[in-house]
Structure 1
């Protein structure tokens, strides 16, 4: 993300908010796999999603298996590339849903912060149909920002969240990226002029519902600073845990690059699922309709 964002920030005219699109670097495939389906979004676009089933359903604890995990991916690629961060959870008995924001993969439209926000609300409305079983969200990097803001505005019941390499302000993240370039400290203020946080999570964190939460961050993350993850962790309500990693790159802790981390993360998820079932999960919160 950082080199593309830096170049775009430097080349865009100084018009407030115009640079937010620099956060989104979608890619597309020529042909979707047969498992890809589409959902109408509040953005006016059709967003593509895919459902992964547990690999060994006969060994699962209930007909519903362990529950649903929904992935909000980051700012680049598309779901059939980023699924490596979550599809392996099917080995632990979870159903997994991946999707693409507008303009990504096989979703229609253009990638913008507003459309991604509306897509996220649409996905939350969609997954609320699964509120009779444990429901979890994994949100990666920019996906954490998108998810948390949408969830604050549309607080369905979610039993557990995993935030990987998170940040909650487009402006502050852009400032950090600018500051990492040569002589960056001389013009990191530029982000304050051209970026916006209209659809960011930072000002809405006090409205994020209480849930079991796991925050992951690599200590040497060169894209999203470690302190962003620490700060967000401190602001979350509910039963929470922080996992700091010392030998990973940005947003790679949940991939096959680090199988030991995957085991620890899966164990947290299984423990949370078991706790949720044992404590008689309540019905989902009434959805709040989006009003612009």
Structure 2
């Protein structure tokens, strides 16, 4: 083969490879752009179903109307215990379903003596608005204010944060510190959770960071963290990473075989963990 022929062959093979690389790169950019622009629809599984009146689901409960700082009117439930223990739970849900899906754990907490505020963020449970990080924290602040207006000072309120609610709770706690926090399946940041799920280094593209890891070291209230060993959405090691950042970590419990949305998390077991945290917190006070 002459040099001229050899160069022709090399040139012919280079161009298809170069074109292929260019096409793949362009395709990747397009996919990444679409994912970036539609990301909130990916990690906020909004549910516009109206859960109905609270009294339909509990022996004693009230329908509550929350008013947010930015003027939204949000529906929520307040579950009333038969034998109040003087404490309230602000339940900060995850990014799917609505408060009806937390009715069992709400009643279980009430059975432990807690007054329970079950809220839905904007865009969930028939509520108006579109969810964002700032919006969810704003909604949680309105829910806490409702408990304050009902006679519960912050020192009488425990935050329970489920999944993305575990990203809302630490942020709210920076300005409105509760008596204690229990976080179930929390992530260090939403960017970390996204990178784990997608197996791509896309954290810098995530708009709503929920960077709990940056807030945790400055929060000195008692904290308990629960995680599942088989959680495919937020791995236990991520929850452990966040837990270790809290200066007053009371307990970290990893439940063997538990996934992210197992029934275990939505009933008496979780209520018992909240009671244990409340008792530990009361015991730690001088």
Q: Where on the TM-score scale, by shorter chain, does this alignment land: which range?
A: 0.7 to 0.9
In the TM superposition, residue 65 of structure 1 has moved relative to its aligned partner by: 2.3
Partner of 2:19: none
For residues 210 and 278 of structure 2, the distance between their equivalents in structure 1, rounded to whole angstroms, comes to: 32
**Cα 1:134/1:78, change in 2 over 3 Å:** same
Partner of 1:6: none
Structure 1, unaligned stretches of length 5 or more? 1-9, 58-63, 180-187, 281-292
User: Does the aligned pair in 2 maintain the 1:217–1:229 contact within 8 Å?
Assistant: yes
Runs of 4+ in 1 over 4 A off after TM superposition: 14-18
Alignment match of 1:232 (pick from 242, 248, 256): 242
User: Does the aligned pair in 1 maintain the 2:74–2:128 contact within 8 Å?
Assistant: yes
SS for the counterpart of 1:150 is: helix
User: Does the aligned pair in 2 maintain the 1:255–1:262 contact within 8 Å?
Assistant: yes
Instruction: Choose between structure 1 and 2: higher helix proportion.
Output: 2
In the TM superposition, residue 206 of structure 1 has moved relative to its aligned partner by: 3.1
For residues 199 and 266 of structure 1, the distance between their equivalents in structure 2, rounded to whole angstroms, comes to: 23
User: Does the aligned pair in 1 maintain the 2:229–2:259 contact within 8 Å?
Assistant: no
Which fold has the larger relative contact order, with Cα–Cα distance below 8 Å and residues 6 or more apart in sequence?
A: 1
**Cα 1:30/1:219, change in 2 over 3 Å:** closer
Larger Rg: 2
Tell me, yes or no, if structure 1 residue 98 matches structure 2 residue 125.
Answer: no
SS for the counterpart of 2:244 is: helix
**Cα 1:15/1:114, change in 2 over 3 Å:** farther
In the TM superposition, residue 210 of structure 1 has moved relative to its aligned partner by: 1.2
* Alignment deviations for residues 171-196 of structure 1 (CA, whole Å, 9 cap, x no partner): 111111112xxxxxxxx12x235313
Aligned length: 247
Alignment match of 1:210 (pick from 220, 230, 233): 220
In the TM superposition, residue 202 of structure 1 has moved relative to its aligned partner by: 3.2
TM-score, L = length of structure 2:
0.76
Partner of 1:195: 206
For residues 192 and 70 of structure 2, the distance between their equivalents in structure 1, rounded to whole angstroms, comes to: 26
CA-based RMSD: 2.7
Matches within 5 A, 1:22-61: 22-30=42-50, 32-33=52-53, 35-54=62-81, 56-57=82-83
Structure 2, unaligned stretches of length 5 or more? 1-29, 55-61
In the TM superposition, residue 53 of structure 1 has moved relative to its aligned partner by: 1.0
